[in-house]
Amino acid sequence: MRTIFSSDHRYQDGKAELVHGTLEPCYEMPRRAEIIHDAVKAAALGPIEAPRDFGIEPVLRVHASGFVEFLSHAWSLWTEAGREYDALPLNWRAPGMRMDRVPSTVDGLLSYYSFDAGTPITAGTWRAITASANVALTGAAIVNAGERTAFSLCRPPGHHAGSNFYGGYCFLNNAAIAAQWLRDQGAKRVCVLDVDYHHGNGTQEIFWTRPDVLFVSIHSDPIAEYPYFLGYADETGAGAGEGTNLNLPLPHGTDWMGYAEALDASCRVIEKFSPDVVVVSFGADTFETDPISQFKLKREDYRRMGARIARLNRPIHVVMEGGYAVDDLGLNTATFLAGIAENA
């Protein structure tokens, strides 16, 4: 399996996120990608390659142009306003407030386009997120050219970012950009299978009315977990996309026994949809010692997870999402990829 990796991920190096009422060091840190890179290399899973530059067009197939424009200029607006620390929002719309007025100041724009205070914009954010999108697109191109598997070692992650908003450590939705690009290259049906611990609210929003993209997500029940306001089982899609969205929320404490059942149910739905390619939003934050998560998967469970997904017998493009037990993140990810490679 080929891995795509860009060292430009290091340009996203936030100082702090708001958690438990205080600013704490960002969980989503550069060492995450480095440790995965090193583990993939040590496991000899295959070559590690740099991404190609696909330009901004594939990003604009998924995200609103005003939003992309904002992300590209946010840091200069921030510094022009005299700020030096990371750019974080201070307030959000409440129900009844307007969405049809885009603020003119940087603080207003941060509030308009974000949905949490855990996702700092820094001097290098734009460089890192465009590299991460290119990593996803390069992996998609490998699968599109006929390879059975590819691993896009994306960082920053993407699945919480929607068509017109960022949050949850995500700015551009790498998996959605890859899925849409595959459609634009001629794939008739694409599935995004999201196995990150958190619901992929951005991906769901992007493909909500789309019959050609099946979104399936296994995640911690939003009744008790971030992102709280999306990810329930009764969300099945709308309009032409009715029936092509599947959420499988699971309770805190879920171990492999509960997880395997949901994964098997997901795979049976995916088999019926018969996608030309499966994009896997992979987060290892389902691990038992993840510092911000409450599932109980163990190292070898990731091999089983990879094996079940490989048995779909479809081209598989793995896109990296979350995972914050950094010391274990490399081996957990490499074990998942090995489970795919052994059964693909």
Residues of the shown chain interacting with Zn ion in the complex, contacts defined by CB under 5 A: 196-198, 283, 285, 322
Q: 302: which 2 tokens? A: 């990731």
Nearer to ligand Q9C, 283 or 306 (CB): 283
The span from the CA of 293 to the CA of 285, in Å, is: 6
Compute the least distance from the CB of residue 28 to ligand Q9C, in Å.
7
Active site amino acids: 160
Name which of Zn ion, ligand Q9C, none residue 58 binds, using a CB cut-off of 5 to 8 Å depending on partner kind: none
Nearer to ligand Q9C, 24 or 38 (CB): 24
Nearer to ligand Q9C, 34 or 116 (CB): 116
Compute the least distance from the CB of residue 322 to Zn ion, in Å.
3
Name which of Zn ion, ligand Q9C, none residue 157 binds, using a CB cut-off of 5 to 8 Å depending on partner kind: ligand Q9C
Compute the least distance from the CB of residue 240 to ligand Q9C, in Å.
28
Name which of ligand Q9C, Zn ion, none residue 183 binds, using a CB cut-off of 5 to 8 Å depending on partner kind: none
The span from the CA of 139 to the CA of 130, in Å, is: 14
Compute the least distance from the CB of residue 272 to ligand Q9C, in Å.
28
Q: Are 161 and 173 within 8 A, CB to CB?
A: yes
H or E stretch at 24: strand 22-25
Name which of ligand Q9C, Zn ion, none residue 166 binds, using a CB cut-off of 5 to 8 Å depending on partner kind: none
CA separation (Å) from 94 to 91, 229, 342? 9, 14, 49
Nearer to Zn ion, 86 or 290 (CB): 290
Q: Which residue is nearest to Zn ion (CB)?
A: 322
Binding site for ligand Q9C (CB under 6 A): 17-19, 116, 118, 157, 160, 168-170, 196, 198, 226, 283, 285, 292, 321-322
Instruction: Kindly report the number of other CB atoms within 10 A of residue 271's CB atom.
Output: 14
For the chain, what percentages of helix, strand and coil (3-state, to nearest 5) are there? 40, 15, 45
Instruction: Kindly report the number of other CB atoms within 10 A of residue 108's CB atom.
Output: 15
**Which residue, chain included where needed, has tokens 């290399």?**
41
Compute the least distance from the CB of residue 157 to ligand Q9C, in Å.
4
Using alpha carbons, select from 222, 170, 190 the residue that is nearest to residue 312.
190
The span from the CA of 225 to the CA of 65, in Å, is: 31
